Structure 1
Amino acid sequence: MTSRRRGEALEQAILDAVWDEFREVGFTKLTMEGVAKRAGTSKPVLYRRWSSPVELMIACAASRVPRADSVPDSGTLRGDTIALLTLAHERMRIVGQTALLAMLAEVSRDPEARHVLIAGLVNEIARTLGETVYARAIKRGELAEEHLTEPLRRLPVDLLRNEFILFGNVTRERIEEMMDQVVLPALRARGASV
């Protein structure tokens, strides 16, 4: 007799099922029924937490964004940010430009889904940037809290996301250019010693 999954174990099984279903059928054919069947659960269980396949896919994608412990400490703000953006880009490529564009099209019609997308994807990467990369830079003296305006906190993530949406692939060289030509000059203009 197998025990019934609950809490984090059930959520992880559902998110894994979303990922497997997405990879097999694609974003436009992702259904609550297909995910429930693959996860070995019921649609009502899914609907208690997520209101649509879009929300399921956003939650799945968010669960795969880089976490703080996955960002190596290079010893510099530049190096740490490039490492984070490289990891984030790898995860974006796995989800795919087409799926990301489909999610954006879907959430453009639904303010609640838009909020979920921003909270789940954009804010997760920005949180890792702030709590890990910027925190290290502040501790090293490269940066002070007053140098970071809200737009500057998100700038590296926003640049990466926009490049990916427009072009589908962002090379390491392009990530370095974004840092050297946009992010670091913007921080220096605010007084940072990066």
Structure 2
Amino acid sequence: MAPDGSRRPPAPRRRGAVLEDAILRAAAEILTESGVPALTMDEVARRAGTNKNALYRRWPNRVALGVAAYRRLAAAETAPPDTGSLRGDALEMLRRANSTWSSPYGEILRGLIAAAGGAPELLAELRDPAAEDAQGAAWLALLGRAVERGEAAPGAVHPRVASAPLALLRNEYVLLGFPAVSDDILTEIVDEVFLPLVRGRGPRPGGT
């Protein structure tokens, strides 16, 4: 009933993409506010103004829904920095990723990985191919600039070389369980692994 006693018209029934958007928005809000433990199908349905059946028709359980909501939240910083040196660029890229992964979004990701219990299909869903492609392109771009500056040989511009620093950083979070990675470790990844890997891809332009 409306405040004046008249009957309100029924709310329009949402379907398809509109309803799915409302559900994912509600789930993302819960993850941001309270983390993975607070994410329940009941609470998401309540916030989205729908019933649990609408959720279960789209996602088999709360973890699958949480993964979908996390992918909605995730937004990687992908514009490559230009500090004037490959070392400076690589450190800046790792510091950006470290800042994101040690933020509340990173806590959500770690909670979802734990809740997934090793289920490969859910862990695969946590990957965002578009974001990963953009990150890979950014690392390849900074390697390309390093070649132009004479800091690296053309052979260093390779997807495997570009992916190495983030893979090592991800290892610190996922396998070792660190809530945040120190700048000393970021520097070690760059100085002890990434730069030697780049230099090992052949002589620098004009070198022997």
TM-score by length of 2: 0.67
User: Quick check: which one's helix share is greater?
Assistant: 1
Q: 2:202 aligns to what?
A: 191
Cα drift, residue 156 of structure 1: 1.4
Summarize the alignment of residues 75-86 of structure 1 with structure 2, pairs less than 5 Å apart: 75-86=84-95
Q: 1:132 aligns to what?
A: 138
Summarize the alignment of residues 23-172 of structure 1 with structure 2, pairs less than 5 Å apart: 23-43=32-52, 46-47=55-56, 50-62=59-71, 63-69=73-79, 71-95=80-104, 99-117=108-126, 119-120=127-128, 123=129, 126-141=132-147, 142=152, 144=154, 147-148=157-158, 150=160, 152-165=161-174, 166=176, 167-172=178-183
Distance in 2 (alpha carbons) for counterparts of 1:137 and 1:3: 52
Q: Deviations over 1:77-108 (max 9, x none)?
A: 33333223222222222236764444223434
CA-based RMSD: 3.6
Q: Secondary structure at the match of 1:66?
A: coil
- 1:131 partner amino acid: A
Q: Secondary structure at the match of 1:38?
A: helix
Q: Deviations over 1:94-146 (max 9, x none)?
A: 236764444223434422112212x23xx555423321231242155246366
Distance in 1 (alpha carbons) for counterparts of 2:36 and 2:24: 14
- 1:127 partner amino acid: D
Distance in 2 (alpha carbons) for counterparts of 1:192 and 1:39: 59
Contact 1:147 1:191 (8 Å CA) reproduced = no
Contact 2:77 2:96 (8 Å CA) reproduced = no
Which blocks of at least 5 consecutive residues in structure 1 are unaligned?
none
**Which structure has the greater CA radius of gyration?**
2
Taking a change above 3 Å as real, the CA distance of residues 190 and 36 of structure 1, as seen in their structure-2 partners, is farther
Between the two proteins, the alignment pairs up a number of residues equal to 188
Distance in 1 (alpha carbons) for counterparts of 2:20 and 2:81: 30
Distance in 2 (alpha carbons) for counterparts of 1:191 and 1:99: 41
Q: Percent identity?
A: 32
Q: Deviations over 1:53-89 (max 9, x none)?
A: 32333344443242324x4333443333322322222
Q: 2:189 aligns to what?
A: 178
Which blocks of at least 5 consecutive residues in structure 2 are unaligned?
1-10
Q: Secondary structure at the match of 1:158?
A: helix
Q: Secondary structure at the match of 2:102?
A: helix
Q: Deviations over 1:159-180 (max 9, x none)?
A: 1122234221112332122111
TM-score by length of 1: 0.71
Distance in 2 (alpha carbons) for counterparts of 1:105 and 1:24: 18
